[in-house]
């Protein structure tokens, strides 16, 4: 199904062509015709499925079909998103889709100066993308008024609720005096989600599409079996030898992220950091450098990287295996998007074998293991042997941490006892 067959203006179709969009993704096929008819929508979809265009394009087209003079401090469409990164990304996408129109789009979120946001709000907008917290602040200061909105979107509604935005959302809803068309997107359902959707959606059309998950044919999975302490060498070697240009690396701790970036820099590989301790502006800069190809590697923690969309990202590396198997799917959801090819590479030390098994059972496939020459993990038998040769420690009840050593000493004692006995007789 092509975009031109959906009744979009030629300005929009041209912009989409320049974005490289030819056919509608499944969520777009399901949502766009319904949204164009004005239905409320409750969609179950992940980032990576093309959901931004699924809700944004019908809104853009309706705004173009019914042009109105912009009113100071007001917006015609409001899109709420849980995080700054996601809000910025949605606004960026919409700016691309509307580049040949005169629609005005802005994003407001925490971490950026209120004053510059006030200026863009003052002039009036067609589409405002906002995080609920920052929007509430601006509403209290009367910098923006959402009482006359015609379209309302909740993107990643489940995460907004997880992050405790329910009161902010309810306050925002209370000021809305119109009956906007509402679209709610969420990856998961919960009682709280159901309560909210039952409360505010009118006869919604329900849509559900499978996320482009780990089992997507477009993603090739591979595991490198490696000792923990050699992971950074392996990473530098793979990047260098295979000439990987854009690599998103996931680690479990901020400290590991800092250390790894230093190591990569020592190896002459430009790397940037994206984790929660970094200021918003620094994270944004890092993401831009990574997207523009100025940095070859971005090292990120799960929370900081959620929802980030990096077009055509070819390589995602699990430097640490995630604690939760679901996070594997979230992480690698950043590659192989919208039908493109991607590589999911995991570094697995002995201690992480169990996590790997859990991931395999979640995605329903066994992942190919590779041991790179020179990176053979320390021999397991040797490890076991070493452990058995360790002296045994006994706890107060006489239990030992090393049964074989304990047995050896028992045998020694028995031999000694019988030698003493023999001497006596």
- Residue 130 forms beta bridges with which residues? 80, 108
Is residue 21 a contact point for ligand AMP (CB under 6 A)? yes
Segment interacting with ligand AMP (CB under 6 A) among 21-29, 213-221, 344-352, 416-424: 21-29
Using rule CB under 6 A, residue 159 touches ligand AMP: no
50 binding ligand AMP? (CB under 6 A): yes
Q: What part of residues 332-361 is at the interface with ligand AMP (CB under 6 A)? A: 337-338
Distance CA(49)–CA(363), nearest Å, equals 18
Q: Pick from 44, 49, 117, 318: which binds ligand AMP (CB under 6 A)?
A: 49
Which segments within 40-135 are labelled E, that is strand? Answer: 41-44, 75-80, 105-108, 125-130
Residues 6+ apart with CB under 8 A from 366: 360
List, in order, residues 6 or more apart from 36 with CB less than 8 Å away. 6, 7, 58, 61, 62
Nearer to ligand AMP, 23 or 245 (CB): 23
Residues binding ligand AMP: number (CB under 6 A): 18
* Closest separation in Å from C-beta 1 to ligand AMP: 9
Stretch that binds ligand AMP, among 14-22, 120-128, 231-239, 295-303 (CB under 6 A): 14-22
One of 12, 13, 15, 25 touching ligand AMP (CB under 6 A): 25
* 298 vs 287: CA distance, rounded Å: 8
Nearest distance in Å: CB 340, ligand AMP: 8
Specify the residue, 24 or 214, whose C-beta has the smaller distance to ligand AMP: 24
CA distance 37 to 58: 9
> Which residues are bridge partners to 155 per DSSP?
none
Q: Which stretch binds ligand AMP (CB under 6 A): 5-13, 43-51, 178-186, 252-260?
A: 43-51
Which is nearest to 305 in space by CA: 294, 292, 318? Answer: 318
Stretch that binds ligand AMP, among 19-27, 356-364, 376-384, 409-417 (CB under 6 A): 19-27
Of residues 51, 211, 230, 306, which one binds ligand AMP by CB under 6 A? 51
Interface with ligand AMP by CB under 6 A: which range of 41-49, 100-108, 344-352, 395-403?
A: 41-49
Query: Site residues for ligand AMP, window 296-315 (CB under 6 A)?
Result: 309, 311
CB 107 within 8 Å of CB 88: yes
- The residues with which 273 forms a beta bridge, in sequence order, are 299
Q: What is the distance between the alpha carbons of residues 216 and 265, in angstroms, rounded to a whole number?
A: 33
- Rounded to whole angstroms, the Cα distance separating 278 from 284 reads 10
If you ran DSSP here, which 8-state letter would residue 83 be given? S
Contact between 24 and ligand AMP by CB under 6 A: the answer reads yes
If one asks whether residue 204 binds ligand AMP (CB under 6 A), the answer comes out as no
Residue 371 φ then ψ, to 5°: -115, 115
Determine the interface stretch with ligand AMP among 51-59, 131-139, 249-257, 327-335 (rule: CB under 6 A): 51-59
Q: Nearest distance from residue 216's CB to ligand AMP, in Å?
A: 12
Positive or negative, the Cα torsion across 380, 385, 388, 389?
negative
Residues at the contact surface with ligand AMP, assessed by CB under 6 A: 19-21, 23-25, 28, 47-53, 309, 311, 337-338
């Amino acid at each position: 199904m092509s975009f031109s067959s959906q009744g979009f203006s030629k300005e929009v179709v041209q912009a989409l062509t320049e974005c490289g969009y030819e056919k509608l993704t499944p969520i777009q096929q399901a949502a766009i015709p319904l949204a164009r008819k004005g239905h409320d929508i409750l969609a179950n979809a992940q980032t990576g499925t093309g959901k931004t265009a699924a809700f944004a394009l019908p809104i853009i087209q309706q705004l173009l079909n019914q042009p109105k003079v912009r009113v100071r401090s007001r917006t015609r469409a409001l899109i709420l998103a849980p995080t700054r990164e996601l809000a910025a990304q949605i606004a960026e996408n919409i700016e691309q889709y509307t580049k040949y129109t005169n629609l005005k789009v802005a994003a407001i979120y925490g971490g950026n100066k209120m004053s510059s946001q006030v200026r863009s709000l003052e002039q009036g907008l067609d589409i405002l993308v906002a995080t609920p917290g920052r929007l509430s602040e601006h509403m209290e200061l009367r910098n923006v008024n959402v009482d006359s909105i015609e379209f309302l979107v909740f993107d990643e509604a489940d995460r907004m609720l997880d992050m405790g935005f329910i009161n902010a959302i309810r306050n925002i809803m209370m000021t809305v005096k119109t009956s906007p068309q509402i679209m709610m997107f969420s990856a998961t359902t919960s009682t709280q989600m159901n309560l909210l959707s039952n409360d505010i959606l009118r006869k919604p059309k329900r849509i559900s599409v499978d996320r482009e998950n780990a089992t997507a044919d477009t993603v090739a999975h591979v595991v490198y079996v490696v000792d923990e302490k050699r992971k950074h060498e392996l990473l530098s070697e793979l990047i260098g030898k295979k000439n990987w240009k854009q690599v998103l690396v996931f680690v479990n701790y901020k400290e590991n992220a800092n250390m790894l970036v230093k190591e990569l820099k020592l190896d002459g590989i430009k790397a940037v950091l994206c984790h929660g301790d970094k200021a918003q502006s620094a994270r944004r800069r890092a993401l831009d450098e990574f997207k523009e190809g100025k940095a070859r590697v971005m090292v990120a923690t799960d929370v900081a990287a959620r929802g980030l969309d990096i077009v055509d990202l070819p390589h995602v590396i699990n430097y640490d295996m995630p604690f939760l198997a679901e996070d594997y799917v979230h992480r690698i959801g950043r590659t192989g998007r919208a039908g493109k090819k991607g590589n999911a590479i995991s570094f697995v030390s002995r201690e992480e074998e169990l996590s790997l098994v859990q991931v395999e059972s979640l995605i329903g496939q066994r992942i190919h293991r590779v041991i790179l020459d020179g990176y053979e993990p320390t021999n397991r038998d040797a490890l076991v042997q070493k452990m058995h040769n360790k002296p045994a420690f006994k706890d107060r009840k006489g239990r030992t941490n090393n049964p074989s050593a304990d047995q050896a000493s028992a045998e020694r004692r028995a031999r000694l006892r019988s030698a003493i006995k023999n001497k006596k007789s």
